[in-house]
Amino acid sequence: GQQVMQIPQYQHVQEGEDFTTYCNSSTTLSNIQWYKQRPGGHPVFLIQLVKSGEVKKQKRLTFQFGEAKKNSSLHITATQTTDVGTYFCAANNNDMRFGAGTRLTVKP
Amino acid sequence: DAGVTQSPTHLIKTRGQHVTLRCSPISGHKSVSWYQQVLGQGPQFIFQYYEKEERGRGNFPDRFSARQFPNYSSELNVNALLLGDSALYLCASSLSGTTRGRGYTFGSGTRLTVV
């Protein structure tokens, strides 16, 4: 299955600062999904990107899919304490393979 | 409409024992995937089932097995438990396994501790 690498592993920000996590693959991805897992919770689906160069927004969250469909990013503008959690990208072919995640902590 | 339900929520087993974890997908969903999540890591793919057929298998030993029933519920079985099998086991439900933009819906998981 597809393997995806995520960076950074951890990110600690002050509330109001921006946050970005990156997802990279050595092979072309058919699509990519993003999930959020709150501490003690389970992954919750955020979005799927399919098209080359696609950009989607959900309020303060902006998701991008690279032109070559080998990388993706999630950017959060003006983080809030409710953004705390681990953000995973997942490559979807016949089955879903998750990256290791970026753990975001936000200092009030 | 109920979400994905997993049972039990917590479980403590001894090394060498066997365990069965259960999952009921969202009504109407025909695909179930199982993941193992060790603390601090991403979910690792174990199995995917669709219409009672195994559609995919991750890099796990033969001690791990699963099946899907006619009502689309699923069981994950692990034999000869090792300490390293301690993890959160997640079940994910989807309509067909290819998600079609809707993503997987995860259950709350079963926390397995092997002592």
Give the span between the Cα atoms of B6 and B33, in whole angstroms: 12
Q: Check pLDDT > 60 for residue A1.
A: no
Count contacts between A and B (CB, < 8 Å).
62
Sequential DSSP letters for A60-80: TEEEEE-TTSSEEEEEESS--
CB–CB of A88 and B43 under 8 A? yes
Q: Let me know: does B21 contact B46? Beta carbons within 8 Å.
A: no
Interface of B with A (CB under 8 A): 33, 35, 41-45, 48, 55-56, 58, 90, 92, 97-99, 101-109
Residue with more model confidence, B23 or B103: B23
Q: Residue A38: its pLDDT value, please?
A: 97
Interval A34-55: pLDDT, tens: 999 999 999 999 999 999 999 9
Interval B50-101: pLDDT, tens: 999 999 999 999 999 999 999 999 999 999 999 999 999 999 998 876 656 6
Interval A57-83: pLDDT, tens: 999 999 999 999 999 999 999 999 999
CB–CB of B99 and A1 under 8 A? no
CB–CB of A96 and B102 under 8 A? no
Give the CA radius of gyration of chain A: 13
Residue with tokens 């001690």: B63
